[in-house]
């Protein structure tokens, strides 16, 4: 029997979701490289998060990437209006935000929308899969899977899965 290869998991910040990883990936936690991120969202095709995924594929010999998100993760419901007050308290004024929007500093051309991300779990998974599969630096043999965990009912659903050679 061959050695089980490591897999990469992109997930949110909720550590409780990790208990589902072995069942979903058919691997032990020690065989998983886990990247935690607010909302588990890849916001740009060449962001630092995408860089980490690319480096993981090559340096850790990753052949399977799992996007596993909690259906009710609170980081998906970040209201841009709620970000203004703490930013202003720290000295970021509205002119800075307007300037960043004007120079198109982020992909969506709206800094606050970029910071708050999407609130739709299915859209996030679909978008993440697209960013990964379409990136010319990701080998075509890498399989990408998407799962939505529902901690309330103690189950998960497959959103997208490619056949895996574990």
State whether the Cα torsion 2-162-36-70 is positive or negative. Answer: negative
Please report, for residues 64, 135, 145, the alpha-carbon distance to residue 4 in angstroms, rounded to integers and kept in the order given: 11, 25, 17
Q: Give the 3-state secondary structure percentages of the chain, helix then strand then coil, rounded to 5.
A: 45, 20, 40
pLDDT bucket at 10, cuts 50 / 70 / 90: very high
Same domain, 22 and 54: yes
Work out the pLDDT band at 25, boundaries 50, 70, 90.
very high
Co-location of 67 and 44 in the same domain: yes
Residue 147 β-bridge partners = 68, 158
> What total number of domains does the chain contain?
2
- Interval 57-94: pLDDT, tens: 999 999 999 999 998 776 666 787 888 889 999 999 88
For residues 54 and 92, membership in a common domain is answered with no
Q: Are residues 133 and 62 in the same domain?
A: yes
Domain that holds residue 92: 79-116
**Same domain, yes or no, for 59 and 132?**
yes
Q: Is 87 helix (H, G, I), strand (E, B) or coil?
A: helix
Residue found by looking up tokens 């399989």 in the block: 143
What pLDDT does residue 79 have?
A: 80
Q: Burial, 78: exposed, middle or buried (Cβ in 10 Å; 0-12, 13-18, 19+)? A: middle
Query: Cα–Cα distance between 32 and 64 in angstroms, integer?
Result: 10
Residues 22 and 69 placed together within one structural domain of the fold: yes
Question: Which is more confident, 28 or 5?
Answer: 28
The pLDDT value given to residue 74: 67
Q: Can you give the CATH number for the domain in which 72 is found?
A: 3.40.1050.10
Residues 102 and 54 in one domain: no
Q: Same domain for 62 and 5?
A: yes
Q: CA dihedral defined by 89, 92, 94, 98, rounded to 10 degrees?
A: -160
Residue 165: predicted pLDDT: 41
Assess whether 33 and 100 both reside in one domain. no
């Amino acid at each position: 029997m061959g050695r089980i290869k490591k897999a990469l998991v992109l997930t949110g910040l909720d550590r409780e979701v990790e208990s589902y990883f072995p069942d979903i990936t058919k691997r032990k936690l020690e065989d998983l490289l886990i990247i935690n991120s607010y909302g588990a969202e890849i916001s740009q095709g060449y962001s630092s998060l995408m860089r980490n995924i690319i480096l993981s594929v090559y340096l850790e010999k990753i052949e399977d990437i799992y996007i596993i998100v909690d259906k009710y993760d609170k980081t998906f419901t970040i209201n841009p209006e709620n970000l203004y007050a703490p930013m202003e308290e720290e000295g970021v004024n509205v002119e800075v935000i307007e300037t960043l929007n004007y120079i198109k500093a982020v992909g969506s051309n709206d800094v606050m929308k970029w910071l708050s991300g999407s609130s739709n779990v299915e859209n996030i998974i679909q978008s993440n899969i697209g960013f990964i599969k379409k990136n010319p630096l990701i080998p075509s043999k890498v399989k990408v899977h998407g799962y939505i965990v529902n901690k309330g009912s103690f189950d998960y659903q497959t959103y997208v899965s490619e056949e895996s050679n574990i």
